[in-house]
Amino acid sequence: MRLNRLLAIFAPVALLLPLTAHADWPAGLRKQYMDQCVPAAAQKIGDAAAKAVCGCGADQLKSYPASDLKALMSGTASQELGDKAMQKIALCRTENGVKK
């Protein structure tokens, strides 16, 4: 009985631990992403749409581990990680009504 009580108490906490492990961008990296993304996107889709798409992209990527975000921003990410990130960011173009 006692083991069941302990399990009932600690199981929900254990399930939430992965969420706290990588819940947001490391300090300064989101700004760096936005500073690079918005001007590049604005050339094709305009300033307002670029801010919306890039903000959405940043939100899509914030669940990535800090090491992956750092690799993406430094250009050292694997092809697989880069492709996965681009797929998530591409969803933002659709969500914000931006055509390719």
Q: What are the tens digits of pLDDT across the range 49-83?
A: 999 999 999 999 999 999 999 999 999 999 999 99
What is the residue type of 66? A
- pLDDT bin (cut points 50, 70, 90) of residue 3 is very low
Give the model's pLDDT for residue 95. Answer: 78
What is the total count of domains within the chain? 1
pLDDT digits (tens, 9 = 90+) for 38-51: 999 999 999 999 99
Give the model's pLDDT for residue 94. Answer: 78
Q: Give me the residue label for tokens 């903000």.
A: 55
pTM (2 d.p.) = 0.70
Is the residue at 60 inside a domain?
A: yes
For residue 61, the enclosing domain spans: 24-95
Q: Which of 72, 75, 71 is nearest to 87 (CA)?
A: 72
CB 37, CB 54: distance < 8 Å = yes
